[in-house]
Amino acid sequence: MQTKPIKNGVIAWCAEHAANIDATMFNVDYWQANHAVIGESKGRYTTWFVQTDKRHHQQQWVLRHYWRGGLMAKFSRDAYLYRGLTTTRAYAELALLAQLHQEGFAVPNPIAAKIERFGIWYRADIIIERVANAKDLVAHLAKHLMNNTQWQQLGATIAQFHVRGVYHADLNAKNILFADNKFYLIDFDRGVIKPPQANWQQANLQRLLRSFKKEQAKLPQLQFSEVDFQQLLTGYHTINPINFTGITTN
């Protein structure tokens, strides 16, 4: 991880070809002016997909701004209290992704982050490399079945993160990508590495199950059943044979 000062803030980067990145490149207006926006993902807020030039290896990047959620969003949409660079959400996520990517985990390649201060507050953006040919699990399962082997593979992938002590703060079906028969976890905002324990690992899986059911309620054609989740758990326990008190499927 390296950093350089900008007006009112800092850019941090970990990809070598991102050393010449500047603050304007964290704004979608820059990419639109260069006719380089190639897609978007709309959830509560928009995430942008952009195409870089030769300076940045002609990669496809994902540009995401940090927005507040929940009750705090009523007071401020995107301002966070500044307590030091390494504790900012963008820097922390970039650093975690850099560590996991270096260790060979199935995460996107991190590129850079911008932290911009104003008084005691900051706003932030992050850029990561787009996973080629990837769809999130909701989009994939809306049109395709996954077989038992694939569900078990997904479970084993999650277990590898858990054994390492990687806590994903929002493990849901949309934060899992499927590409070229491989699963990736994305969006590590507020993610941390901590001692592996059954309580938070089980809560993580329970959250994932709830998300599948929530998405299926909105999209009845979603190819998911509790039998599929049992296959996921089978694969999970081949890597992490920890005793849970039980995953509630109701």
What digits encode the pLDDT tens for the residues 189-219?
Answer: 999 999 999 999 999 999 999 999 999 999 9
Of the listed 53, 125, 170, 189, which one is catalytic? 170
Q: Does residue 162 come out as left (phi exceeding 0), alpha (psi in the -120 to 50 range) or beta? A: alpha
pLDDT at residue 2 is higher than 80? yes
Cα separation, 80 vs 115, whole angstroms: 10
Q: What is the DSSP string of 145-177?
A: ---HHHHHHHHHHHHHHHHHTEE-TT--GGGEE
Q: At residue 70, does pLDDT exceed 80?
A: no
Q: Which amino acid is at 13?
A: W
18: buried, middle or exposed (CB in 10 Å: 19+, 13-18, 0-12)? buried
Alpha carbons within 13 angstroms on the beta-carbon side of residue 33 total 7
Residue 69: what pLDDT?
A: 73
> What pLDDT was estimated at residue 224?
97
To 10 degrees, what angle do helices 148-164 and 198-218 make?
Answer: 140
What does the pLDDT read at residue 250? Answer: 59
How far apart, in whole angstroms, are the C-alpha atoms of residue 179 and residue 234? 22
Q: What is the structure's pLDDT at 15? A: 82
Tell me how far apart the alpha carbons of residues 69 and 147 are, in angstroms, rounded to a whole number.
35
Residue 72 pLDDT more than 70? no
- Output the pLDDT for position 60: 96
Q: Which of 206, 207, 210 is nearest to 218 (CA)?
A: 210
pLDDT on residue 57? 81
| pLDDT for the residue 98 | 97
| Strand-pair category, 60-65 with 121-129 | antiparallel
Q: What is the pLDDT of residues 111-166, one digit of tens each?
A: 999 999 999 999 999 999 999 999 999 999 999 999 999 999 999 999 999 999 99
Q: What is residue 120's predicted lDDT score, i.e. its pLDDT? A: 95
For the chain, percent of residues with pLDDT exceeding 70:
96
* Whether 170 is catalytic: yes
Tens of pLDDT, residues 51-68? 999 888 889 999 999 998
Q: Which two tokens stand for residue 1?
A: 């991880």
Q: Could you tell me the CA-to-CA distances from 76 to 46, 81, 191, 198 in Å, in that order?
A: 17, 11, 22, 35
Q: Which residue has the higher pLDDT, 125 or 75?
A: 125
pLDDT higher than 90, residue 91: yes
Which of the four pLDDT bands, split at 50, 70 and 90, describes residue 76? confident
* Phi, psi at 244, each rounded to 5°: -95, 155
Mind giving me the DSSP string for 189-230?
TT-EE----HHHHHHHHHHHHHHHHHHHHH-TT----HHHHH
Question: pLDDT at position 245, please?
Answer: 80
Question: Both tokens of residue 200?
Answer: 């938070």
Q: Supply the mean pLDDT for the chain.
A: 94
Distance CA 22, CA 134 (A): 27
Full-model pTM: 0.94
Rounded to whole angstroms, the Cα distance separating 248 from 250 reads: 6
Contact criterion met (CB below 8 Å) for 44 and 69 = yes
Q: Report, as an integer, the average pLDDT of 58-82.
A: 85
Other residues' Cβ atoms within 10 Å of the Cβ of residue 12: 23
